[in-house]
Amino acid sequence: MENKKLKLEDLLNEQPNHEAEDTIEYVAIIGAGVMGQGIAQTVAAAGIDVIIIEKDEKHLEMAKESIKANLHHEIDRWAMTESEMKSILSRIQWNLDLTEVSECDLIIESVTENYHLKRLIFNRLDEIARPETILVSNTSTLSLTTIAEVTTRPDKIIGVHFLNPVPKVPLVEVIKGMDTSEKTVATIKKFASNIGKTAIEVYEYPGFVTTRAIVPLLNEAMHILLEGIASAKDIDTAMKLGYNFQMGPLELADSMGLDEVLVWMEQLWKTLGEPRYRPCPLLRKLVRERKLGKKVGQGFFKYDKDGKIIE
């Protein structure tokens, strides 16, 4: 009887792959602000069920109306059908009870850039979520390692920085903490691909790539305006036509939310101590006046209900 040769490689290939990435079928999003809404819409549009958790009924209802308005706007511009909108909304649940996320495969925190708040949320999520659930922060400047310290699963803590508007920007930054496992990274990269995003892997460092690179540009454009060198419209026109930007830096800041931009600048200025991150006084003035950009209809420019600049 002929003996069949058995190669070590064949034997290894037969072993179960414990490092294979997990399938994400149910996602929770903590925080229903502009970013949370955009993430929910994007995930639901990819056929994945979503539950959004907010702090009170008022903010929950505001978020519901906002996401419906955004979807109706997409229908008006022929970018989406009525049936597609209904399909997206049918996959999104809304709740105030954090314990409702206990069965989710992935939980994405999307609240303001505040260490204390994020650590409180992650500590509670660590108690509620299943042991195998990955916990994600949508932070743009903060340390994932510091956030992970309050959990018992630092290997399953990872950053995924979405950019606004989430449904339209095809990029996410995937940020590893000191203890984030390769399996977690692989799972998140596959998830990003499944929702139509290209993921770049970033080492943990204040501002990562996109925030650190864009903040000095926005800040300098604000200083040019403050110094009276050119009007806001002409500054943006110069950058769009001169450097092929799709959107000028001042309109871009408005679309991000001037309060968010200020938080990023202050965090980078505090952490890195470099003058290019020190917020322009004009930005501080607009935030004090609650002129926060497109979301309120006024920032460096005034906007109509569709987010177009009013000339």
Q: Is CATH 1.10.10.10 the classification given to domain 26-203?
A: no
Check: CB of residue 181 under 8 Å from CB of residue 156: yes
Cα 203 off chain centre by = 17
Q: Which residues contact 72 (CB under 8 A, 6 or more apart)?
A: 85
Nearest to 22 by CA among 129, 123, 87, 104: 104
- Check: pTM over 0.75? Answer yes or no: yes
> HSE of 285 in the Cβ direction (CA atoms, 13 Å)?
7
Average pLDDT, whole number, for the chain?
Answer: 91
Task: Summarize pLDDT for 282-297 with one digit per residue, the tens.
Answer: 999 999 999 999 989 9
At the topology level, CATH places domain 210-296 in N-(1-d-carboxylethyl)-l-norvaline Dehydrogenase; domain 2 (1.10.1040)
Task: Summarize pLDDT for 169-218 with one digit per residue, the tens.
Answer: 999 999 999 999 999 999 999 999 999 999 999 988 888 999 999 999 99
Q: What is the distance between the alpha carbons of residues 250 and 113, in angstroms, rounded to a whole number?
A: 21
Q: Which residues contact 48 (CB under 8 A, 6 or more apart)?
A: 24, 25, 26, 27, 91, 194, 195
CA quadruple 284, 287, 291, 293: dihedral sign: positive
Q: What is the pLDDT of residue 13?
A: 57
Domain residue ranges of the chain, discontinuous segments joined by +: 26-203, 210-296
* In the chain, % of residues over pLDDT 70: 93
